[in-house]
Structure 1
Amino acid sequence: MRAVIDRRYPIERMAEAHAGVEQGRKKGSVVVITSAGDDEGAARAAVLRA
């Protein structure tokens, strides 16, 4: 099984991410990146679900 990510948004664009989900424009998961992460470039993220 593999996750399908439709779009990624920085936390500053949270309203835009929610609007896209509510309007049914997504084809997969919508990810909101909440931090820059550690030295390896890993990011913490939240997935928005309809």
Structure 2
Amino acid sequence: MWYTSRQYCRDELVIKMLYRKKVLLSAVNKCFLLQINRMKLTIMRFAYRTDT
């Protein structure tokens, strides 16, 4: 019983770590997407300015 509870605690820790990693990854992805969108906007503005 004690061994299984310890195992469960370890598994829970692993799951928490994975979850945290996943959250961090999604946050990084969001930042990356925002940066790409900003770059696109600036490129579009620059192209528009050069066209007119």
Which TM-score band (shorter chain)?
under 0.3
Higher normalized helix content (fraction of residues)? 2
TM-score, normalised by the number of residues in structure 1: 0.26
Higher normalized strand content (fraction of residues)? 1
Bigger relative contact order, structure 1 or 2, given CA contacts below 8 A and separation 6+?
1
